[in-house]
Chains A and B, each alone.
Chain A
Amino acid sequence: MLKIVHYINQFYGGIGGEEKADVRPELREGAVGPGTAFAAAFGDAAVITHTVVCGDSYFGENIEEAKAAILEMVRGVKPDMFIAGPAFNAGRYGVACGTICAAVKEELGIPVLTGMYVENPGAEMFRDKFHIVATRESAVGMRDAVPKMAKLALKLARGEKIGASIEEGYMPGYMRVNFFEAERGSKRAVDMLLAKMKGEDFVTEFPMPDFDRVEALPALKDMSKMTVALVTSGGIVPKGNPDRIESSSASKYGEYCIDGVTDLTDATYETAHGGYDPIYANTDADRVLPVDVLRDMEKEGRIGKLHGKFYTTTGNGTAVKSSAAFAQEFAQKLRNDGVDAVILTST
């Protein structure tokens, strides 16, 4: 049977209302308050072995201490799953549920789930970090929320495939999952356009996210003493693609030595990238990774030197999250190697 730890606030823990909101976290055995409804929904599949009760004010005003204390409690129990709330539209409770779920997920690697109203500030803060079931505004929504949360919690605890947000009832924004609609896309587009033109309600299938834009740094004035590195998402690799970097949706990047290399030729380099016409890059890979030009500039003293390694991957179909992870890793290597500037080339 799966072991679950449930987090609730002082109100649902039966300690009291606002006047008791400063109570410190405590660990109780078994299910408490809304936990009994979860226990009923789980049946024999899972058991709430422990409940953490904590005052909303205490959590909000002592986040680090509260987090550390609760993590310690959960670590001791070693549950298969951690559930918080549901918090409905209670702002501090929602933020506490979100904060503690994030900590348990990140620090203990235990699957987490909470539930709250879509306008709860906790939803805005955490809906892109893990699954949050959308609930009604107040506790009258408990009866709707519990079965949805219980079903999803069991799937998460078992590591089963999670359906799309619209099927499972969690808020969109964390995880995009495919599913089959009743109508084909073109028909859905016509229906959506007619609704939009009439000013009627419609639901976009992909709400525009906050886009990760990077500000350009000020230009470098003098590169004559600088070590310059080349980094590309254009897929240039030594001939034969020794690390088998994927033609699309790369799962890795390559690090290759170019000490003594003055020119990339069709005998020595090629592109692994599947997103553009590769003929011209395969004929002369300098077109994407300009080693030849930088060697000239090195000779002319316009740059200090070209760094002895380049980093490469295919940008084609590669998740932004993967690209960011690659770059975080090799940016550190570049820094450790004393590189002063990087030229990024695409395709």
Chain B
Amino acid sequence: MKLTIGNIRITDIVLGEQSAVTGSTLKVNVKELEALILEDERIASVCFDVAKPGESTRITPVKDVIEPRTKVEGPGGMFPGVVSKVATVGSGRTHVLKGMAVVTCGKIVGFQEGIIDMSGPGAEYTPFSQTVNLVLNFAPVEGLAAHDYEHALRMAGLKSAVYLGDLAKDVKPDEEIVYEFAPMAKGIEKYPGLPRVGYVQMLQSQGLLHDTYVYGVDMKQSLTTMICPTEVFDGAIISGNCVSACDKNTTYHHQNSPVVEDLFARHGVDLNFAGMIITNENVYLADKERSSDWTAKLVAMLDLDGVIISQEGFGNPDTDLIMNCKKIEALGVPTVIITDEYAGRDGTSQSLADVDAAANAVVTGGNANEVITLPKMDKVIGSLEYVDVIAGGFENNTNADGSITVEIQAIIGATNELGFNKMSAR
């Protein structure tokens, strides 16, 4: 499958009465977007705000981050099986509003939501301090159950991103990138001397705020399966708003899957990107055994020479990570795993909940327990009411000068396990 990505650089968002992309400015008709969001009667109200890099702004509690994209040519539409009808995406042409993001926030659903600081020390840990963000701040109707609230927010964020992405349909992109994935036999024929490399992506699937959907399928109900890597660029995988903020993969991360990008960057040069396997992280032991068995089996069936395995979350999924690694290494196929660490606030505790000698090649996104003090910001989008109860917060963590002290696990994307960031630990 061949997919052309056309990036349209966005450097500013203006809220007003008309929706359009003009140069590098995105104009948003607030009334129209509000009406679209309020079609869902579970949402009582929504406020819009723009947060730009370098501003003294804190956004919290953040649920998801989404990049507006649109299908210009080729089958299917954005977020197939969720917003668009089910149809196989990943080929043709897709336009992207690059440099911006839709950020959903509002009253807390669980404990896992996080913080985005647009400036100061916290900004260095989240990639979304570098994007111009359209923040949707929701209030649910009274008495809405947690699962329904999460669903309402998730859909509102995705629908808004599609609404904005569609504005890019007829805009000429500033840059184009072509990704082409060859069927098995053709790949072997084309790159006879190159090692066949695969990507095993583990998707969080542990329940509320820990779910991931693929073409609308709740991944915890799926067997391990294969996907064409270009499909992820069209929103085939979406976040169900999960895990601690630092190592949740937001929808934005899926749309910009860094391992997929970097394997494509070497495709045909020193490797043959030969397959992508997606598996889940369920909580029952039997599910873990079955899913990791299937992961290894698909690696064997694809005849891969090497595999990168990425994780999502921590603790319980460390078991899935190590099972996948052990079973694939047992086939004689070398692996590299991408994880993060919970080594305690002083960094001297055991980092993972499960380890094995087979996992001898590890990339880490860093220690999520490291403590940081985030200075007071002039503007807060959302509410500071929850900064002590979100994962990474603790009692009395708001200081006299208005700064807050948290573990970096409270910062969106800080220790991302898809390898999105430059942070590591030693």
Contact = CB atoms under 8 A, between A and B. Distances in A.
A and B together in one complex: yes
Given A181-B424, A185-B419, A279 B343 contact: no
A321 B349 contact: yes
B344 A321 contact: yes
Q: For B366, B388, B390, which residue has the most chain A Cβ atoms within 10 angstroms? A: B366
Counting contact residues on chain B (CB < 8 A from A), the size range is: 35 or more
Contacts of B421: 184-185
A192 B310 CA distance: 14
B405 interface: no
Contact of A205 (B258, B306, B354, B425): B425
Contacts of B112: 274
Given A206-B362, A277-B210, A316-B315, A249 B350 contact: no
B361 interface: yes
B208 interface: yes
B362 A196 contact: no
B314 interface: yes
A43 interface: no
Contact of B338 (A167, A186, A277): A186
B418 A205 contact: no
Contact of A175 (B147, B210, B348): B348
A252 B35 CA distance: 46
Given A190-B263, A192-B361, A248 B392 contact: yes
Nearest to A246: B394
A190 B336 CA distance: 8
Interface in A214-273: 244, 246-249, 251, 273
A53 B210 CA distance: 59
A205 B424 contact: yes
Contact of B348 (A174, A196, A275): A174
A33 to B, nearest CB: 31
Nearest to A248: B391
A197 B305 contact: yes
A277 B207 CA distance: 5
Contacts of A192: 336, 361, 363
Contact of A317 (B362, B368, B419, B426): B368
A208 B395 contact: no
Interface string A149-190: 000000000000000111100001011111111111111111
Nearest to A273: B111
A293 interface: no
Contacts of B420: 184-186
A259 to B, nearest CB: 27
A274 B259 contact: no
A183 B419 CA distance: 10
A118 to B, nearest CB: 14
Given A176-B425, A193-B197, A276 B369 contact: no
A182 B422 contact: yes
Given A185-B419, A189-B259, A317-B314, A176 B343 contact: yes
Contact of B342 (A166, A202, A277, A319): A319
A123 B244 CA distance: 35
A77 interface: no
Given A176-B341, A193-B336, A194-B270, A322 B349 contact: yes
Interface string A288-323: 000000000000000000000000000111111110
B244 to A, nearest CB: 6
B348 A190 contact: no
Contact of A209 (B308, B350, B360, B391): B350
B129 interface: no
Interface in B292-318: 305-308, 310, 314-316
Contact of A248 (B111, B147, B352, B423): B111
Interface in B369-400: 369-370, 388-395
B259 A196 contact: no
Contacts of B336: 189, 192-193, 196
A204 interface: yes
A262 to B, nearest CB: 28
Contact of B262 (A167, A179, A187, A197): A187
B109 to A, nearest CB: 10
Interface of A: 128, 164-167, 172, 174-190, 192-194, 196-197, 202, 204-206, 208-209, 211-212, 244, 246-249, 251, 273-279, 315-322, 347
30 contacts: A175-B346, A177-B347, A178-B367, A178-B408, A178-B425, A179-B423, A180-B424, A183-B422, A185-B416, A186-B259, A187-B258, A193-B306, A193-B361, A194-B271, A197-B197, A204-B360, A205-B363, A209-B350, A209-B355, A244-B394, A249-B345, A249-B369, A274-B390, A276-B206, A276-B210, A277-B210, A278-B110, A317-B315, A317-B409, A319-B343
Given A190-B271, A193-B306, 7 more contacts: A178-B370, A183-B422, A190-B266, A192-B336, A211-B355, A276-B206, A279-B208
Counting from the closest, the 9 A-B pairs by CB-CB distance are A185-B419, A274-B111, A186-B419, A319-B344, A277-B207, A248-B391, A319-B349, A321-B349, A186-B258
